[in-house]
Structure 1
Amino acid sequence: MMNRSTAYEECESIIKLHSKTFHRAFSLLPKNQRNAVWAIYAFCRTVDDIVDENEHPKEELQLFEEEFQQFLSGNVNMKDAKWLALQDVFANYNMNTDAFLAMIEGQKMDIENKSYGSFEDVLDYSYHVASTVGLMLLPVLAPKTHDKLIDSAVQLGYAMQITNILRDVGEDLERGRVYLPQELMDKHGYTYSMLEQMENNSQFKLLWEEMAQLAEMYYDRAMTTIHEYPVYSRPPVKGAAILYRAILDEVRGNDYNVFTVKNYVSGQSKEKILSAHME
């Protein structure tokens, strides 16, 4: 049987591979909280990969949901690193089970929905796939004040998911998904035909900027309650927000090319940004 230390190490290897930004930010936490974040990320990554990388995502997601229900009932697969680590997390923190279930519902939306009509629809999707992550993390990051931070965690999830959407327009298009809401496309005169042709024209830039400025508004809102976090949690939460927000400026610096370029903040730039913004 795998021990908990090995399980956490395996979970950390997953976040190291898939999200250097989050790994860099949350490495600032004390060990126990850091390990809990790795375990929660491993859960989220598993659900995400089922939908993005699996030939039969609907069936696999159903199996995963059943496995999670088994986990909640105490029937834990002790050979699986994510479940073993997560069992330890659930034993030590007052976890929000509804957030985990809502995350699974969000991944179902990716299977069923290929486009979105309104910006409100995009926010609803963003809540399910991103704000839920913040709600999962809150009992770990702010065990005594997490009830005061629910709204800001939701806002930060909105901000980060809209950033993902704006960074991954081309990649999502290849998967047959469009997260740019129809109402904003219509508002700026940007058509599906233009999108399919990957036209980076003035209409697209106006559409992209409107969504980016909404994301920046949500980042600002999320940071208004940073003082409610314990001192040890403030740097990683603020750091994650700052580093993710910086992706928007990377896209701007690349003349809004989100079709043929993967925009990211380099390791060197991350350190510069953190040193400039962290107090």
Structure 2
Amino acid sequence: MELKQAYARCEAVAAHHSKTFYRAFSLLPLHDRRAIWAIYAFCRRVDDIVDEGAHPKEQLQQFEAEWKSFLAGDEHDDFMWVALRDVFSRYEMDVEPFWHMIEGQTMDLTVHRYETFSQLLRYCYCVASTVGLMLLPILAPNHRNELKESAIALGEAMQLTNILRDVGEDMERGRIYLPREWMKLYGVSEQQLAYGEVTNAFIHLWEQIAEEAEKRYALAGQTFSLYPLSARLAVKGAATMYRSILQVVREQRYDVFTKRAFVSAERKQVLLQQIGGESVEVG
């Protein structure tokens, strides 16, 4: 497959599955944004195997085998591997977060409850912070070490936001990411979650986790200035738009069972203007 076509396929995956992510990084220079789409395609592929695969365990094992083959230098015609090969030739990529991403997705096959918040954070690191670490060689190659901690914090914040937004959807998949120790502390039962009850206890629990997410958004924001300008706007834009999901949930009276919180196009436009982004149409 031609490299240009491979990148186009990766871009289509990003544009289809995450408009927020796609828009946030669309203003990067050509080679950089292409690299972003390739990495997104990798993460999307492994995530879809777990969430939608007919035989996820076997498919994940096959994916891991392909990844090992890729690292060994073997050529693959699949568009994702073709694009990723070019990324690895252009940038000083670290393979560790890719491995941890696979680890996190494997956890979703076997772990459906988390006893403690620290255990939940490990999961957040594997499935989300790893993305930020994958992107650092592209977005800020000269400040990778200084930005590592904040990239991890931002990933944790964004995944906690996902968890707080998707409580109902996760329940339908048989998964509860809200830590049991905090559910017990606030008096929230699994039965209440199954019934979709938005009680005061649930709101307090939700806000406790939201506070942890907010702390991490704030920590990540302290180092945004280390990113080159184009990358800075992209990262800050993604963080700002994701963080605003928390406020949307509040405006929807914490109904994360029958409603899906999303940031409207108009709101995205305002947020982009506030952070100094270009006035572009967003969807």
Q: Could you report, residue by residue, the CA deviation over 1:229-274 in whole angstroms, capped at 9, with x for unpaired residues?
A: 1122100000000000010011001000100111100122101111
| 2:158 alignment partner in structure 1 | 160
Q: Deviations over 1:178-226 (max 9, x none)?
A: 0000011111111111111111111111100111111011000011111
Indicate which of 95, 98, 102 corresponds to 2:96. 98
CA distances 1:157-183 after superposition (whole Å, capped 9, x unpaired): 000000000000000000000000001
Q: For residue 10 of structure 1, what is the amino acid of its counterpart?
A: R
Q: Which residue of 1 aligns with 2:262?
A: 264
Give the equivalent residue in structure 1 for 2:280: none
The correspondence for 2:167, drawn from 166, 169, 180, is 169
Query: Which of residues 129, 132, 143 is equivalent to 1:131?
Result: 129
Q: CA deviation at 1:76?
A: 2.1
Q: Are the equivalent residues in 1 in contact too, given 2:233–2:275 (CA < 8 A)?
A: no
**Equivalent residue, structure 2, for 1:49:** 48
CA deviation vs aligned residue, 1:9-57 (integer Å, no higher than 9, x gap):
1001001110000001000211111000000000000000000001211
Contact 1:239–1:278 (CA<8 Å) still a contact in 2?
Answer: no
Distance of 1:155 and 1:133 partners within structure 2? 11
1:245 match: 243
> What's the Cα RMSD here?
0.8
CA drift of 1:109 comes to 0.4
For residue 5 of structure 1, report the CA deviation from its aligned partner: 0.9
Tell me which residue corresponds to 2:281: none
Give 1:204's aligned residue: 202
Which sections of structure 2, spanning at least 5 residues, go unmatched? 278-283
Stretches (4+) displaced over 4 A = none
Alignment pair present for 1:21 and 2:20: yes
- 1:34-45 matches, within 5 Å, as 34-45=33-44
In structure 1, distance between residues paired with 2:11 and 2:177: 29
The one-letter code sitting in structure 2 at the alignment partner of 1:18 is H
2:233 paired residue number = 235
Match of 2:82 among 81, 84, 95: 84
Cα deviation for residue 278 of structure 1 reads 2.8
Paired with 1:263 and 1:231, the residues of 2 have a C-alpha distance of: 30
Q: TM-score, normalised by structure 2?
A: 0.96
Q: How many residues align?
A: 277
- Between the aligned partners of 2:269 and 2:188, the Cα distance in structure 1 is 37
In the aligned structure 2, how far is the partner of 1:276 from the partner of 1:144? 27
CA contact (8 A) 2:140 2:231 kept: yes
**CA distance in 1: counterparts of 2:272 and 2:178, whole angstroms:** 30
TM-score w.r.t. structure 1 length? 0.98
In 2, Cα distance between the equivalents of 1:57 and 1:170?
Answer: 22
Question: How far apart are the structure 2 equivalents of 1:254 and 1:129?
Answer: 27
Matching of residue 215 in structure 1 with residue 213 in structure 2? yes
Contact persistence 2:11–2:37 (CA under 8 A): yes
SS in 1 for 2:141: coil
Counterpart CA distance in 2 for 1:272 and 1:71 is 42
The answer to whether the 8 A contact 1:122-1:179 is kept is yes
Equivalent in the alignment of 2:59? 60
The residue number in structure 2 matching 1:193 is: 191
